[in-house]
């Protein structure tokens, strides 16, 4: 299911008890993981539906410089249904990403710094989201899931690492340091 394009939801479906219950279950699953986003295909439903929330406690111990470099700020819980994604910049901002569907791994993925998403919310009301930085990355990652794409399809393959190695070696490094190390290793 992770490799298939998900189907859109009708307004009637969005308001149904089944979809509202699915949204609540996805929110709980995302919090338990913990994660900042979860798409319906990740929990066995081929639907264009994702939940997103970047909670303040996820970044409370992160260095200020790291948060600034990633343009990472808290994002309140919300639902994205039937999204249309427009990249407002080229996919040139690179950072490590992971995924709840591929636990235990991280890799550097280029993403657009700014995006616009036209979608429906959990009440089938039209929404336009303009996002930048880490929030834009989350949106791109989750919308990729709705298209059958995983971050490993976009990653720089030489950067694939285990979560343990990322936490022990790469996590505190800037992207400039990561690129310098990888370039030096490549030349050897």
Residues assigned a catalytic role: 142
Q: How far is CA 23 from the centre of its chain?
A: 17
Phi, psi (rounded to 5 degrees) for 52? -140, 140
Preceding amide of 108 cis, omega within 30: no
Query: Exposed, middle or buried by CB within 10 Å (0-12, 13-18, 19+), for 150?
Result: middle
Phi, psi (rounded to 5 degrees) for 126? -65, 140
3-state DSSP call for residue 157?
helix
Instruction: Compute the CA torsion angle 129, 141, 181, 58 (nearest 10 deg).
Output: 70
């Amino acid at each position: 299911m992770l490799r298939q394009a998900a189907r859109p939801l009708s307004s009637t479906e969005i308001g149904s008890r089944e979809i509202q219950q699915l949204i609540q279950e996805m929110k709980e699953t995302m919090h338990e993981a913990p994660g900042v986003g979860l798409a319906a295909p990740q929990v066995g439903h081929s639907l264009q539906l994702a939940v997103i929330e970047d909670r303040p406690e996820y970044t409370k111990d992160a260095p200020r410089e790291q948060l600034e470099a990633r343009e990472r700020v808290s994002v309140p819980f919300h639902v994205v249904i039937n999204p249309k994604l427009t990249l407002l910049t080229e996919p040139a901002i690179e950072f490590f990403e992971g995924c709840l569907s591929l636990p235990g791994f991280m890799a550097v993925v280029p993403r657009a710094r700014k995006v616009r998403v036209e979608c429906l919310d959990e009440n089938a009301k039209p929404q336009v989201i303009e996002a930048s930085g880490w929030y834009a990355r989350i949106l791109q990652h989750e919308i990729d899931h709705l298209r059958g794409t995983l971050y490993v399809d976009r990653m720089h393959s030489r950067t694939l690492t285990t979560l343990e190695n990322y936490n022990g070696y790469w996590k505190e490094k800037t992207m400039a340091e990561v690129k310098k190390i990888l370039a030096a290793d490549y030349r050897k």
